[in-house]
Structure 1
Amino acid sequence: MRASAFGHTSTHGSGVLRVATYNIHKGVRGLGPRKRLEIHNLGLGIEALDADVVCLQEVRLFHHRDARRFDQTWLGWPEEGQAEFLAPEGYASAYRTNAITRDGEHGNALLSRWPLGEVGHHDVSDHRFEQRGLLHVPVLWQQLRVHVVVAHFGLIHASRVRQVHRLAEYLAAEVPPDEPLLVAGDFNDWGERLDVPMRERCGLQRARAPAGAIDQRLTFPSRVPVFALDRIYLRGLRCLNTMVPRGTAWARMSDHLPLLADLEPI
């Protein structure tokens, strides 16, 4: 697939921090004999976003079965982990595992064109059937330390509320209250019920463009998006604009679309 198929997002100024969050569905789509490898197209798409910071969920470090299956395809399964593979030239990457399965594992990742600080990870699993975690990485953006937390919450609302509480405890212990913070990821909040606990427990406001249309936050399912599962929550930062890239190329790569936000310090 050509890079031009993804289009190009609008440019942003030097005083603007562009953040993207994207659930990449482990780099594959489809079931059975129709299962296809999308990790190479995802690399082109992520580069086209031109984001300073890219927060990724459902990222693999390895998966033995899929590696064997796609080893003989034209481009093949990447030799390195997906976070490192997807990082555009000049970007740093960080990855931590959330879930371990029989053939491999997956977790959260962060890609950044700015220097990274110490990488932290915090388990917020609510029960043994869903392994969930937080990836925490400070990013040094234009001499300002911005804390970035990549999250992937559970499928049950009560679990998500408890995960907000654990997130609040982690932030209180690990993030200085006077430093900018963003928490981005797939929150699985189908009923739009997490904004209040995220504000009351964590002091975080959801990133919304001042005059943004609703279709600029809907990300799931990717072919006909009707839910805003992918979000960015902020403290010490202001949202200037949000955008959700659309089109056939984006719809085929993952069941989610990426969400972008242009931010500036308050």
Structure 2
Amino acid sequence: MTALPTDLHAPAAEHSGILRVATYNIHKGVQGMGPARRLEIHNLGHAVEQLDADIVCLQEVRSVNRREALYFDRWPEVSQAEYLAPEGYEAIYRTNAFTRHGEHGNALLTRWPVIGHKHEDISDHRFEQRGLLHAEVLVENRPVHAICVHLGLIAGSRIRQVAQLQRFIEREVPRDAPLVVAGDFNDWGFQIKNMLAGFGLFEYDEAPQAHTYPARLPMVQLDHVYVRGLRPLSLQVPRGRIWWRMSDHLPLIAEFQL
């Protein structure tokens, strides 16, 4: 793989008082269809490392896929979450969807210690299996809660899933605890954004057009990083051929003041 741009790197977050969070839908580590499909998981491994984030929320991560493991000679022997975790990071994965050949779900990678984690099924109907992954992470000796989500394709489903997300937060996250909610929201408008604002979750709004989808010619922002109890500082979307070859989404990187 051609070297990724190095300007994604920021000063080491553990020494700067800045929390750097990335979200990335990796499209199961494979691009293309049929005999023309290609394995991108190895390139994605380099990409995730280059994001240099304290917390990385990943969607469409495969735990196992027997068909693809037989098709590709270099299919990793470990789960994709484990494979993508940079050295020194902890990887948490939970399955959302069971398929004929395997399973896939959300993953959370972090360079900070994980205190605990939970998963909740937020599937709204039998045609889409969805979930949220929650982790409590100790950042500079301060607990920070992070939730990785992948919402449904149907507008009504997303509304009900956000309502379920709100109930989960009220039940599992202390009101005074810093909270990050990141992932693929599949929302083309402002309805979900307004719902999240209704219970205190906001994102950085000063960046021009943080479009993440489709990766080759991004026109909309489906991927977001919302926070409560932290001050948003910046938002960045890496661009270029190197990035759009790896997935149908581009990654989104957000920074917050601890």
Three-state SS of the structure 2 residue aligned to 1:130 is coil
Partner of 2:168: 170
Three-state SS of the structure 1 residue aligned to 2:161 is helix
CA drift at 1:192: 2.9
Partner of 1:67: 69
Partner of 1:5: 4
Three-state SS of the structure 2 residue aligned to 1:119 is strand
How do 1:126-205 and structure 2 match up within 5 A?
126-200=124-198, 202-205=199-202
TM-score computed with the length of structure 1 as normaliser: 0.93
Matched, 1:37 2:32: no
Q: Following TM superposition, where does structure 1 have runs of at least 4 consecutive aligned residues deviating by more than 4 angstroms?
A: none
Asked if structure 1 preserves the Cα contact closer than 8 Å seen for 2:4 and 2:50, the reply is: no
Q: Distance in 2 between matches of 1:224 and 1:134?
A: 28
Counterpart residue identity of residue 238, structure 1: R
With over 3 angstroms needed to count, the CA separation of the structure-2 counterparts of 1:38 and 1:189, relative to structure 1, is same
Asked if structure 1 preserves the Cα contact closer than 8 Å seen for 2:212 and 2:222, the reply is: yes
Matched, 1:19 2:13: no
Q: Distance in 1 between matches of 2:190 and 2:208?
A: 16
Q: Distance in 2 between matches of 1:16 and 1:203?
A: 20
Asked if structure 2 preserves the Cα contact closer than 8 Å seen for 1:6 and 1:45, the reply is: no
Q: Distance in 2 between matches of 1:87 and 1:139?
A: 16
How do 1:203-222 and structure 2 match up within 5 A?
203-205=200-202, 207-209=203-205, 211-214=206-209, 217-222=210-215
TM-score computed with the length of structure 2 as normaliser: 0.96
Asked if structure 1 preserves the Cα contact closer than 8 Å seen for 2:96 and 2:104, the reply is: yes
Counterpart residue identity of residue 217, structure 2: V
Three-state SS of the structure 1 residue aligned to 2:157 is helix
Counterpart residue identity of residue 59, structure 1: V
Partner of 1:94: 92
Asked if structure 2 preserves the Cα contact closer than 8 Å seen for 1:8 and 1:48, the reply is: no
CA drift at 1:238: 1.1
Tell me, which stretches of 5 or more residues in structure 2 are unaligned?
none
Q: Distance in 2 between matches of 1:49 and 1:112?
A: 12
Counterpart residue identity of residue 249, structure 1: I
Asked if structure 2 preserves the Cα contact closer than 8 Å seen for 1:187 and 1:230, the reply is: yes
Please, which of 79, 82, 85 is the counterpart of residue 84 of structure 1?
Answer: 82
CA drift at 1:6: 4.2
Q: Distance in 2 between matches of 1:5 and 1:233?
A: 26
Q: Distance in 1 between matches of 2:51 and 2:9?
A: 9
Asked if structure 2 preserves the Cα contact closer than 8 Å seen for 1:24 and 1:253, the reply is: yes
Partner of 1:53: 55
Counterpart residue identity of residue 201, structure 2: L
CA drift at 1:119: 1.5
Taking only aligned residues, the RMSD between alpha carbons, in angstroms, comes to 1.1
Counterpart residue identity of residue 227, structure 1: V
Partner of 1:232: 225
Asked if structure 2 preserves the Cα contact closer than 8 Å seen for 1:6 and 1:249, the reply is: no
Q: Distance in 1 between matches of 2:247 and 2:191?
A: 24
CA drift at 1:239: 0.8
CA drift at 1:10: 3.8
1:54-80 C-alpha deviation (Å, 9 max, x unpaired) = 000000110000000002xxxx00000
Partner of 2:240: 247
CA drift at 1:172: 0.6
Three-state SS of the structure 2 residue aligned to 1:137 is strand
CA drift at 1:173: 0.6
Three-state SS of the structure 1 residue aligned to 2:227 is strand
Three-state SS of the structure 1 residue aligned to 2:114 is coil
% of aligned pairs identical? 56
